[in-house]
Chains A and B, each alone.
Chain A
Amino acid sequence: KQEVTQIPAALSVPEGENLVLNCSFTDSAIYNLQWFRQDPGKGLTSLLLIQSSQREQTSGRLNASLDKSSGRSTLYIAASQPGDSATYLCAVVGRDSWGKLQFGAGTQVVVTP
């Protein structure tokens, strides 16, 4: 059974520092891995989608890496801003899961001015 873990559960950094969020999964047989952002009381916004054949994806200040063999992904956010404060969720779609997203519990990020 696939399990997704995110460490740390919470993170507070001063503005301008780089953020490093970790995600690990137990079964490397995945189709893809997706990073989402959730603001309090809001829905999920997709940040980056990494297919199983890819090693990384980049969008602006965001970069996500994927090491399928070790079951790890890392989301880097460069030069953090207070607007980056949110909960970041990692989720994988397993090869035998019929498209089901398996989520981690999230990392709650606070960027202080």
Chain B
Amino acid sequence: DTAVSQTPKYLVTQMGNDKSIKCEQNLGHDTMYWYKQDSKKFLKIMFSYNNKELIINETVPNRFSPKSPDKAHLNLHINSLELGDSAVYFCASSPQGAGGYTFGSGTRLTVV
């Protein structure tokens, strides 16, 4: 199946821990993104990578560090997790230019 896949689907962890979320796309898209959906269900961009280069860093705390080993993968590492980081994190990809987005199914992060 051609898709954007992210793991894990659910992540429950304690404050202060470090965690990673992985994302892979097999659509051949050049650009990958991380979006955050908060408790009010509003979606906002965090990062964008184009061919492994960081394009957008949308005033996200530096505890969040994206890593793109190749253009098909974009992982998100979060250090020193805080209660306020609890949210659903979506990975997405799009082709170069004005193509449409494809989203992953999301990772629900709960910090306790």
Scoring A residues 40 to 66 as 1 if CB is less than 8 Å from chain B, else 0, what string do you get?
A: 011111100101100000000000000
Q: CB distance A98 to B48 under 8 Å?
A: yes
In the complex, A36 Cα to B41 Cα: how many Å?
Answer: 14
A52 to B101, alpha carbons, bound, how many Å?
15
Tell me, in angstroms, the Cα distance from A30 to B2 when the chains sit together.
27
Q: B-facing mask of A15-27, CB < 8 A → 1, else 0?
A: 0000000000000
A46 proximity list for chain B (CB < 8 A): 100-103
Min CB distance B37 to A, Å, is 9
> How many interface residues does A have (CB within 8 Å)?
24
B98 CB contacts on chain A under 8 angstroms? 31-32, 51-52, 93
Q: Which residue of A lies closest to B6 (CB)?
A: A43
Number of B positions contacting A (CB below 8 A)? 28
The interface residues of chain B, by DSSP majority, are classed as strand
B41 and A101: CB pair below 8 A?
no
A residues less than 8 Å from B92 (CB atoms): 44, 101
Nearest B-chain residue to A105, judged by Cβ: B42
Minimum CB–CB distance from B24 to chain A (whole Å) comes to: 15
Least CB distance from B83 to A in Å reads: 21
Are B105 and A42 interface neighbours, CB within 8 A? yes
Residues 74-112 of B, flagged 1 when their CB comes within 8 A of A and 0 if not, give 000000000000000010101001111111111010000
A101 to chain B, nearest CB (A): 6
Known A42-B106, A91-B101, A100-B56; 7 more pairs at CB < 8 Å? A34-B101, A46-B100, A98-B48, A99-B50, A99-B55, A101-B45, A101-B92
B residues bordering A, Cβ < 8 Å? 31, 33, 35, 40-45, 48, 50, 55-56, 58, 90, 92, 94, 97-106, 108
Q: A-B pairs with the 3 shortest C-beta distances?
A: A49-B100, A43-B105, A31-B98
